[in-house]
A and B are shown apart, each in its own frame.
Chain A
């Protein structure tokens, strides 16, 4: 059965008033929030989330679960996230294929895992534990990366394919991240899209990146560039209708600009479906 073709935006502070107070709800099918910003006991953040949820379906997108940690996932973190999940009844719960914690150290950055059998077993164990604690299937997002480790046993897309098969998790496909990592590491983005399990993709992220001295950097601070739009069109051919959102985290423009970008995603999706 095909998934609904939804179009959403990330909820960011400069747009709170428009999302919460405009006479007519902002024309999106869902909003995505950063889970950790709302995993707090109370106060304004929880009130904002409650009010947004009254107007829109909400997807919870995390950055600190650290499913790649060699020493397991943090149980207290999972309990807090479960409480938020129960309160919000989200459309999706997602986090990244990465690690952010090892021992007592928290990097607060999405660090890459090596694509080895050992790492795959660890990530599977952690995703299993998370899905059990949350009582639901998670979406795992492919990361942007700036380093590839020696000794890999498989490609990133083979890793994700095996992860989905072993844990039953689904995928949040970040098309910009595919483009950034393919450019940085010299792999074929088309092979990536062909290699991931298309039926497991439930959500797509679209974003912009910047060019560093030698690497593309996943900065989320500018519009979606043409090569990423092209890759999005190709991804849709493979995965079919799927929830899509524009992800902007820095240099956040007026909401109208993001809605215009979302309209572009709608147009591309309509053309792909018609084709």
Chain B
């Protein structure tokens, strides 16, 4: 058998336990060893990336979801660490009435992804100097991620990590977002309201800070908007989310 045909058959065996492929490969107990290695390694990768989701769902339900994901979504990246990127989609399809499950999975994945993002020095308050706030444009750190959330998944995650009794899953009064980044070597996150999420998206898209402030002043009034924006800016600097001001 040609090498390419052999490797295609081996792939069919591992992904779908295709009996014809097994016969062409010569059969035998060895093929089962490879099949077991393949599947157990992928389950272990998912367990490693989604430990709090596993706690939330319970081991049996998690393993069932993992098995379904492995069948539907074979790995395609050279690093095993990338396996699981689309596991939250599998969870969303399996638990359509429990959106906290997929949101929990997305938070876990984003935190794992933040772990190895590029090292960059964020802007410090001391380095700000004289800024023309009216015309300033913001560059956020490249490892900043934002996930839309409709549930208290972030609180569930924190409770699961802390080992406390998690609260009941519930919808947020209004949709919000979870902001995720790496603080030193530690992945971090906080829940934000839609207004802050929208502002970050607008500034990331190139909006001048002055334009954002003017729009907020129109919506909330001068004094209130200054307090709102000042609060956001202080938190962005405190959390190291700004890379540069132009």
Contacts and interface: CB of A to CB of B under 8 A. Distances in A.
Contacts of B58: none
B31 A147 contact: yes
A interface majority secondary structure: loop
A149 B26 contact: yes
Interface string A25-52: 0000000000010011111111100000
A212 B42 contact: no
A215 B41 CA distance: 19
A43 B119 contact: yes
A177 B166 CA distance: 47
Contact of A109 (B1, B7, B38, B119): B38
Contacts of B45: 108
A69 B7 contact: yes
Given A39-B79, A70-B3, A214-B29, A103 B118 contact: no
A114 interface: yes
B76 A44 contact: no
Given A106-B74, A149-B25, 8 more contacts: A36-B78, A43-B117, A43-B185, A70-B3, A74-B78, A102-B4, A105-B11, A147-B26
Interface in B72-108: 74-81, 83
B28 A71 contact: no
Contacts of B79: 36, 39, 64
Contact of B78 (A64, A103, A116): A64
A214 B29 CA distance: 7
B15 interface: yes
B185 A44 contact: yes
A101 to B, nearest CB: 7
Contacts of B116: 40-46
Given A42-B117, A146-B34, A215-B29, A105 B78 contact: no
Contact of A114 (B6, B8, B115): B6
Nearest to B8: A102
Interface residues of B, number: 42
Interface string A243-258: 0000000000000000
Interface residues of A, number: 48
A44 B42 CA distance: 23
B11 A146 contact: no
Interface in B209-231: none
A88 interface: no
Given A43-B119, A43-B182, A145-B30, A106 B78 contact: yes
Which 7 residue pairs of A and B lie closest in terms of their CB atoms, listed nearest first?
A146-B30, A147-B30, A40-B116, A42-B119, A102-B7, A70-B4, A41-B118
B14 interface: yes
A104 interface: yes
B11 A102 contact: yes
B38 A108 contact: yes
B157 interface: no
A179 interface: no
Contact of A212 (B33, B81, B117): B33
A109 B117 contact: no
A145 B118 CA distance: 38
Contact of A151 (B1, B41, B74): B1
A111 B81 CA distance: 19
A36 B233 CA distance: 38
Contact of A215 (B14, B33, B42, B78): B33
Nearest to A120: B3
B38 A107 contact: yes
Nearest to B79: A36
B1 A108 contact: no
Contacts of A101: 78
Nearest to B80: A108
A39 B77 CA distance: 13
Given A43-B115, A149-B26, A107 B11 contact: yes
Interface in A235-275: none
Contact of A147 (B28, B76, B80, B182): B28
Contacts of A40: 81, 116
A149 to B, nearest CB: 6
A122 interface: yes
B4 A111 contact: no
A226 interface: no
A151 B77 CA distance: 31
Nearest to A101: B78
Residue of B14, B33, B81, B115 ringed by the most chain A CB atoms within 10 A: B33
